[in-house]
């Protein structure tokens, strides 16, 4: 018997698309968990499923008209959007995604989406060319950058007779995503009351207005750590260099470019209980960045680029005295003798823990989705914890669990 989630509420928005019929199974299975569902049916959605079928399965009134005085008296669109634990848009057509991205509010569905302050999950479904169109992809990127969750689409035969991405995720996948979200929301928050600072991504150190010194860091590991700590209840400030990633849910994001800007942002975020320095900060910067683009003069003489050492953020915070976080964690990105170099770095920087990872080109760690960690907490190599190669999300969860144990 599936575990009941009594007291949980979902606002389901059904937009137009032949895949709308699959959502009836989603409703039925979620109701098996005692999840309360209120549904908004758009005009397009009503072409594929009837209000009566949705009402029968949800055991609630189906809402359709923004300007119904009866509905506004009984259940205004503001209340409708605020009383849910999750707003689920399934299927999410190209049209409603575009309206969400641009903040339109021309009907009940889009008005509720614009008015909600609750998490939103979308399950896109459309023709493959519509899904691949740059406008749709730009809209998806915009929505995900705002923290909107997504499940699917999957690839396969489409109702239009074509094949490719754009197929609505199967009901079981949508249900699993919804249940994972609701159960995570109910999970214990052992870091509640703790404040954390996480740095992520590379830094860009300008040479001139169009060139800079940087590295291959994607920010995936730092962002995953920030999100994992937030899920455990911590109040997280994420200080990120330039990355192409969605903003993690539940964190305060501070965007920076240079190492000096990152140090200033971290210092401004103090005091904190936990600081995790996952950013790959450039070691050097140009001594005199040019105001205009540097040009070749055809002489074959190479421009003289003088470098200055950047501030050492990890060492600075580790030695920050009264404002020093109780637990300071650094990363050591090495290409050889990984554990040995990391152990020396921990001593040299004065931090509490170091997460050593091998970033040699053949590992795919920089920019990739997986990581292999050796956690070093003291000078004795016998205490090193070698974690299995896994996703960066998995590393983030293991680190969070270790942090929880430390404070416990």
User: Any catalytic annotation for residue 374?
Assistant: no
Which of 185, 217, 246 delimits the end of a domain? 185
Q: DSSP secondary structure string, 126-176? A: --HHHHHSHHHHHHHHHHHHTT-EE---EEEE-TTS-EEEEEPPPHHHHHH
349 annotated ligand-binding residue? yes
Q: How far is CA 236 from the centre of its chain?
A: 13
Residue 129 and residue 158 share a domain: yes
208 annotated ligand-binding residue? no
Cβ–Cβ under 8 Å, residues 279 and 239: yes
Q: Number of structural domains, the chain?
A: 2
The residues, ordered by sequence, that sit 6+ positions from 181 with a Cβ below 8 Å of its Cβ are: 86, 119, 121, 149
Residue 1 forms part of a structural domain:
no
What's the pTM value of the predicted model, to 2 decimals? 0.65
Residue 199 and residue 179 share a domain: no
Residue 2 forms part of a structural domain:
no
- pLDDT given at position 250: 81
Residue 239 forms part of a structural domain:
yes
pLDDT (tens digit per residue) in 110-153:
999 998 888 999 999 998 889 999 999 999 988 887 888 898 88
Cβ–Cβ under 8 Å, residues 371 and 357: yes
Cα dihedral across residues 315, 316, 321, 325: positive or negative: negative
Positions in the chain whose pLDDT score sits under 50: 1, 69
Which of 165, 185, 205 delimits the end of a domain? 185
Contacts 24+ apart (CB under 8 A), 157-165: 158/127, 158/128, 159/18, 159/19, 160/127, 162/127, 162/128, 162/129, 163/128, 164/128, 164/131, 164/132, 165/128, 165/131, 165/132
- pLDDT given at position 267: 97
Residue 154 and residue 23 share a domain: yes
CATH of the domain at 39: 3.40.50.1950
Active-site position among 138, 160, 319, 326: 160
307 annotated ligand-binding residue? no
Residue 119 and residue 100 share a domain: yes
Residue 139 and residue 72 share a domain: yes
Cβ–Cβ under 8 Å, residues 292 and 256: no
107 annotated ligand-binding residue? no
Residue 400 and residue 289 share a domain: yes
Residue 4 forms part of a structural domain:
no
What is the residue range of 231's domain?
A: 195-407
Residue 172 and residue 54 share a domain: yes
293 annotated ligand-binding residue? yes
Residue 131 forms part of a structural domain:
yes
- pLDDT given at position 360: 59
Q: Considering only CA atoms, which of 79, 396, 26, 351 is closest in space to residue 248?
A: 396
- pLDDT given at position 81: 76
Residue 249 and residue 142 share a domain: no
Q: Which residue has the tokens 């205009």?
A: 292
Residue 201 and residue 136 share a domain: no
Residue 93 forms part of a structural domain:
yes
CATH of the domain at 298: 3.40.50.10300
Residue 204 and residue 156 share a domain: no
Residue 365 and residue 227 share a domain: yes
Residue 190 forms part of a structural domain:
no
Q: Which residue has the tokens 């823990």?
A: 353
Which of 141, 158, 185 delimits the end of a domain? 185
Residue 367 and residue 297 share a domain: yes
In angstroms, rounded to a whole number, what is the distance separating the alpha carbons of residues 217 and 239?
14
Residue 110 forms part of a structural domain:
yes
Cα dihedral across residues 108, 114, 119, 123: positive or negative: positive
């Amino acid at each position: 018997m599936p575990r009941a989630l009594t007291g949980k509420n979902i606002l389901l928005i059904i937009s137009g698309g032949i895949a709308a019929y699959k959502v009836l199974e989603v409703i039925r299975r979620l109701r098996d968990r005692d999840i309360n569902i209120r549904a908004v049916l758009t005009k397009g959605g009503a072409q594929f499923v009837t209000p009566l079928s949705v009402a029968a399965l949800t055991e609630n009134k189906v809402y359709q008209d923004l300007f119904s005085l009866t509905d506004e008296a009984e259940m205004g669109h503001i209340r409708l959007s605020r009383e849910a634990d999750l707003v689920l848009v399934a299927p999410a057509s190209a049209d409603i995604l575009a309206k969400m991205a641009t903040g339109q509010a021309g009907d009940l569905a889009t008005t509720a989406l614009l008015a909600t302050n609750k998490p939103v999950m979308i399950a896109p479904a459309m023709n493959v060319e519509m899904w691949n169109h740059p406008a749709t992809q730009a809209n998806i990127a915009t929505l995900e950058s705002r923290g909107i969750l997504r499940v699917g689409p999957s690839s396969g035969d489409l109702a239009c007779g074509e094949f490719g991405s754009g197929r609505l995720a199967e009901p079981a996948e949508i249900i699993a995503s919804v249940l994972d979200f609701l159960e995570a929301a109910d999970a214990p928050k052992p870091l509640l009351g703790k404040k954390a600072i996480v740095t992520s991504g590379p830094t860009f150190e300008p040479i001139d207005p169009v060139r800079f010194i940087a590295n291959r860091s994607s920010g995936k590991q730092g962002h995953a750590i920030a999100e994992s700590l937030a899920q455990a209840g911590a109040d997280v400030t994420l200080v990120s260099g330039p990355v192409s990633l969605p903003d993690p849910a539940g964190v305060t994001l501070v965007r920076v470019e240079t190492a000096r800007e990152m140090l200033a942002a971290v210092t401004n975020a103090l005091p904190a209980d936990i600081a995790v320095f996952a950013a790959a900060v450039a070691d050097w910067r140009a001594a005199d960045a040019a105001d205009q683009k540097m040009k070749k003069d055809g002489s074959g003489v190479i421009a003289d680029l003088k470098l200055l050492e950047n501030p050492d953020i990890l060492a600075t915070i580790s030695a920050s005295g009264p404002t020093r976080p109780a637990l300071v964690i650094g990363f050591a990105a090495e290409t050889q003798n990984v554990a040995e170099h990391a152990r020396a770095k921990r001593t040299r920087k004065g931090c509490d823990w170091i997460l050593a990872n091998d970033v040699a080109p053949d590992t795919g760690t920089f920019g990739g989705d997986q990581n292999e960690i050796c956690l070093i907490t003291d000078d004795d190599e016998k205490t090193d914890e070698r974690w299995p190669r896994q996703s960066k999300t998995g590393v983030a969860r293991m680190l969070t669990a270790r942090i929880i144990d430390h404070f416990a």
